[in-house]
A = this chain, B = another copy of it.
């Protein structure tokens, strides 16, 4: 299978009778049915040697993960996913299994998120990369990062630092459930309606709780106080972090790549859906350690 074969395989695997798709892969562009509301659009990239290492990810993981990371931005806007487009750079001599993996990863993501893949582009490049564009819709207004008000609760949608522990495990040559969490994060599109209905502000946690909280607070012109003791983590996570030689709290604050949602709401939130970890203030952004001291270390990381 060469690159033409790759596009053909995509077309065959991803064709369907999704009512959102009028024309899928194969013409100069894809055509989507008229969107009911406003369109929400975002693009994200995963680059070999920068965002991932081929020792840690199969190409199916790269494809799936790229889509999850991009869809996570739609969830943070309170948008439902309508369509995905993928543009790859592939090094010369990428083996057949690698190409098949890309198709498999896309097909899995399309099924997992019930979203059609309507466009694909393949270019030769010096390293494997995937640039993923996502298109979603909101019926009313999108949820921005700038709407938080003092008195709002601060919520997170799931365990944090878990993917970072997994990445440290992979770096140490180990493979475990934490590694799987890093390899195959889940975009919280299941919470898009909750965000749209109830959140005053929302961001997805791609870079780390500390930096995302700071982004949200700065955009909203507010402060925040979050207690690390209230932030959910996975069972055994702190022990695993220590065993790998890392401060568990540092990975919760600055680890990133969990793709959970951080949002604010004046109303209570069903605790089965999200955990209240603090509140919006009119002061600074404060992160309080379990021992009561104020967090003063790194607040996030960036690949770039």
* Interface residues, chain A, with chain B CB atoms under 8 Å away: 3, 22-23, 26-47, 49-51, 73-74, 76-77, 79, 83, 85-87, 89, 118-127, 129, 131, 133-136, 138, 142, 144-146, 202-204, 219, 303-304
Complex partner residue of A29 from B35, B40, B123, B126, CB under 8 angstroms: B40
| Alpha-carbon distance between A36 and B43 when the two chains are bound, in angstroms | 23
Is the CB–CB distance between A32 and B28 below 8 Å? no
Residues of B within 8 A of A202 (CB): 28
Is the CB–CB distance between B89 and A45 below 8 Å? yes
Residues of B within 8 A of A43 (CB): 85-87, 119-121, 131, 133
Is the CB–CB distance between A41 and B83 below 8 Å? yes
Is the CB–CB distance between B123 and A47 below 8 Å? yes
Complex partner residue of A41 from B74, B118, B219, B304, CB under 8 angstroms: B118
Residues of B within 8 A of A121 (CB): 43-45, 131
Residues of B within 8 A of A83 (CB): 41
Is the CB–CB distance between A27 and B145 below 8 Å? yes
> What are 26 A-to-B residue pairs whose CB atoms are below 8 Å?
A26-B219, A27-B77, A27-B142, A28-B73, A30-B41, A31-B41, A31-B142, A34-B36, A35-B35, A39-B39, A41-B133, A41-B135, A42-B119, A43-B86, A43-B120, A43-B121, A47-B89, A47-B124, A50-B123, A89-B89, A121-B131, A122-B304, A123-B304, A125-B127, A129-B129, A133-B133
